[in-house]
Amino acid sequence: MANIGRALELGQAGDRANARDALTELWGRIGYAGDALHRCTVAHHLADLQESVADELMWDRRALAAVADLDDQRVQRHDVSLRVRAFLPSLHLNLADGYRRAGDVERARHHVTVAAPLVAELPDDGYGAMIRDAISRVTGLLDTGSREPLAAP
């Protein structure tokens, strides 16, 4: 997780290419059979660093697939406050938004419909509010047929 954190710091500093390279290298070491928390985390963040919606969706699907192999006991070894079900709203939201931007309205609506009730798993804090707001905005963009990127609030 420390290596993942260092790669994320590169992205937060604006160095998307090196962050993407570092996370891709980590994915190569972790692989499809590695620790599910690491797979989910790397894939989730790699999705955000992709240049194309198709590549972004590929990584978002990998993140969602990895979460199926996680349990609360594993994530709490990393952080006692984590719950696997709290990962799901964001993972489904990312897929909904990616499919929306790719023009796959049916899949986008499926994932936003799955994400919406799962927000009950999120804390009543800034992160929870951000995810709730993004679900609302993606739903609105779907309703208008927009394929534009989801702008920051």
For 56-92, what is each residue's pLDDT tens digit?
Answer: 999 999 999 999 999 999 999 988 888 999 999 999 9
Q: At what angle do helices 16-30 and 36-48 cross, to 10 degrees?
A: 150
Q: Which of 35, 55, 82 marks a domain boundary?
A: 82
Q: How many domains does the chain have?
A: 2
One domain for residues 77 and 96: no
One domain for residues 96 and 62: no
One domain for residues 146 and 95: yes
Average pLDDT, the chain: 94
One domain for residues 5 and 71: yes
One domain for residues 77 and 27: yes
One domain for residues 72 and 97: no
pLDDT beyond 80 at 153: no
Average pLDDT over residues 49-59: 97
Percent of the chain with pLDDT over 90: 88
- Kindly list the distances between the CA atom of residue 2 and the CA atoms of 5, 25, 80, 92, in Å, as whole numbers in the listed order: 5, 14, 17, 25
pLDDT beyond 90 at 30: yes
Average pLDDT over residues 100-114: 98
Q: What is the DSSP string of the chain?
A: -HHHHHHHHHHHTT-HHHHHHHHHHHHHHH-TTS-HHHHHHHHHHHHHT-SSHHHHHHHHHHHHHHHTT--HHHHHHH-TT--GGGTHHHHHHHHHHHHHHHT-HHHHHHHHHHHHHHGGGS-SSHHHHHHHHHHHHHHHHHHHT--S-----
One domain for residues 6 and 47: yes
Average pLDDT over residues 4-22: 94
- Compute the distance between CA of residue 109 and CA of residue 124 in angstroms, rounded to an integer: 25
Residue numbers of the domain that contains 152: 85-153
pLDDT at 152: 67
Q: Which of 33, 54, 82 marks a domain boundary?
A: 82
One domain for residues 111 and 146: yes
One domain for residues 100 and 125: yes
One domain for residues 59 and 104: no
One domain for residues 123 and 137: yes
Q: Which of 82, 109, 127 marks a domain boundary?
A: 82
